[in-house]
Amino acid sequence: MADRTPQKPRVLSGMRSTGKLHLGNFVGALDNWVKLQDRYDCFFFVADWHALTTDYADTSHIKQNSMEELLDWLAAGLDPERCTMFIQSHVPQHAELHLLLSMITPLGWLERVPTYKEQRENIKEKDLGTYGFLGYPVLQSADILIYKADYVPVGEDQVPHVELTREIARRFNMFYSGKREYVFPEPQPLLTPAAKLPGTDGRKMSKSYGNFINLSDPEPVVRQKLKTMVTDPARVRRNDPGEPDVCPVGDLHKIFSNQQTLAKVYEGCRTAGIGCIECKGWVADNVMAVLAPIQERRRPFEQNPKLAWDVLEAGSARARIVAQQTIEQAREAMNMSHLYQPPGGSK
């Protein structure tokens, strides 16, 4: 039932609405999205329903969080002329497909999802024993399949989710396609090289660890945060040699600095020729070189957030059109179309 002939393969990706994005989000996903938008027909969505799977008890910030996230997307260079940005809950077809897919998804498939087990064990402060939390991979599958996405950009740890989506698509096609063509193509993962981005305490940069640098942090804040960043623990005094390969600041240099600076860092650190403060100053310069244009692009949207909201509205309208076509095909395949059918008549 391939009714679309896109010039470019379609990519679908989303981010939970958690508010302002940090450097880890940029390096791990957003920077890649910006690059994908010219090569693919990209659909990017603010996953506000997904935010509910863990943060259902307090929704007071959810809309603001979606907005902040969108501002960062636009700031990073996502361009409404080159991709479709929308908000998940404004495209109710995701929910309908989620319901249909939930009917055919065996419970065992969901209980096996590695992130499900992991999060149930690690997040103790919230009750995740909910129907919605167990079912979030089905919602993810609906998000992907409703646009018949060809590719889903993911890190290694998310590959099982794409695999689950493929299994669900296959199962739907097996039950309902009959002699007709399959409704759902099986999406492929598009592996995103995951750069290790440490936070200021050396652990992975994350909102929940409070060790992050926001894309919108003003320069003095960025410099201050980097100044307090942990370093190679073996380098206690200024004249102790250090090792950039075990230092979180060294990891940042690998991402943000050029070869020349990197060579100076290795040489200076290993011979105690430079101090950590100096080394952190260089990394701050290079982080700011990335952040300054992002912050510059954010400004007009910050001053007039309605501009950004309009981008979401227009994107959501476009997404609804595509999603509606798919949902109609799914209904038809299941003999549940809205079209009149005389009693006793068969398709």
> Footprint of ligand SF4 on this chain (CB under 6 A)?
231-232, 235, 242, 244, 247, 249-250, 265, 269, 274, 276, 279-280
Report, in Å, the least distance between residue 9 CB and ligand SF4. Answer: 41
* Residue 104 vs 262, nearer CB to ligand SF4: 262
* Residue 19 vs 268, nearer CB to ligand SF4: 268
* Residue 231 vs 316, nearer CB to ligand SF4: 231
Any residues with CB less than 8 A from the CB of 163 and at least 6 apart, and which? Answer: 189
Report, in Å, the least distance between residue 213 CB and ligand SF4. Answer: 16
Report, in Å, the least distance between residue 250 CB and ligand SF4. Answer: 4
The tokens for 36 are: 């994908």
* Residue 56 vs 266, nearer CB to ligand SF4: 266
Report, in Å, the least distance between residue 267 CB and ligand SF4. Answer: 10
Report, in Å, the least distance between residue 290 CB and ligand SF4. Answer: 19
Give the type of residue at 287: V
* Residue 205 vs 265, nearer CB to ligand SF4: 265
1-16 in b/e form (b: 16+ CB < 10 A) is beeeeeeeebbbbbbb
Please report which helix (H) or strand (E) contains residue 10, including its range: strand 10-16
Single out the residue of 116, 182, 110 nearest to residue 141, CA to CA.
110
- Check: CB of residue 142 under 8 Å from CB of residue 47: no
Report, in Å, the least distance between residue 255 CB and ligand SF4. Answer: 13
Report, in Å, the least distance between residue 72 CB and ligand SF4. Answer: 27
- Residue whose structure tokens are 């009714």: 3
* Residue 51 vs 274, nearer CB to ligand SF4: 274
Residue 283, classified by CB atoms within 10 Å of its CB into exposed (0-12), middle (13-18) or buried (19+), is buried
In angstroms, the first-to-last Cα distance of the chain is 16
- Exposure of 121 in the CB half-sphere (CA atoms within 13 A): 7
* Residue 170 vs 238, nearer CB to ligand SF4: 238
Backbone φ, ψ for residue 295 (5° rounding): -70, -35
| CA 180, chain centre distance (Å) | 34
The tokens for 183 are: 């409704």
- Residue whose structure tokens are 């227009």: 314
* Residue 95 vs 288, nearer CB to ligand SF4: 288
Maximum CA pair distance of the chain?
Answer: 89
* Residue 79 vs 245, nearer CB to ligand SF4: 245
Report, in Å, the least distance between residue 46 CB and ligand SF4. Answer: 36
d(CA 47, CA 112): 23
Single out the residue of 13, 45, 84, 333 nearest to residue 184, CA to CA.
333
d(CA 221, CA 213): 8
d(CA 102, CA 218): 45
Report, in Å, the least distance between residue 269 CB and ligand SF4. Answer: 3
